[in-house]
Amino acid sequence: MELIFELEFKETAIEDLKFWAKNDLRILKKIESLLSSIKKNPYVGIGKPEALKYDLAGYWSRRINKEHRIIYAVNGKIITIHSMRFHYDRKLN
């Protein structure tokens, strides 16, 4: 039986989705694909999943493109999406 994780979105992630919906539908489609992969398994799949280190230990990232990453945390069956724009320079709450 395949375990499906549940996604929840922080306000910054929702704002990021709105930004991509308005400004770049190609990136939005890529994000949808990445989120689908994350939901199936947050540790492997497309976008080069990477456990973050140092100040961001406990978070994971996936590449949207060269400049932007999805940043998320896994807690049991809940995956919290923190950010879907920029790299790692935003505060994560």
The domain limits of the chain are 6-83
Would you please indicate which residues are annotated as catalytic (active-site) residues?
A: 50, 87
Pairing state between β 50-51 and 78-83? unpaired
pLDDT for 1 beyond 60: no
Whether domain 6-83 has CATH 3.30.2310.20: the reply is yes
The contacts of residue 81 (CB under 8 Å, 6+ apart) are 7, 8, 9, 10, 13, 35, 38, 70, 71, 72
**What local confidence, expressed as pLDDT, does residue 23 receive?**
97
Would the CA dihedral through 23, 24, 28, 31 be positive or negative? negative
| pTM, full prediction | 0.90
Instruction: Output the average pLDDT for the chain.
Output: 92
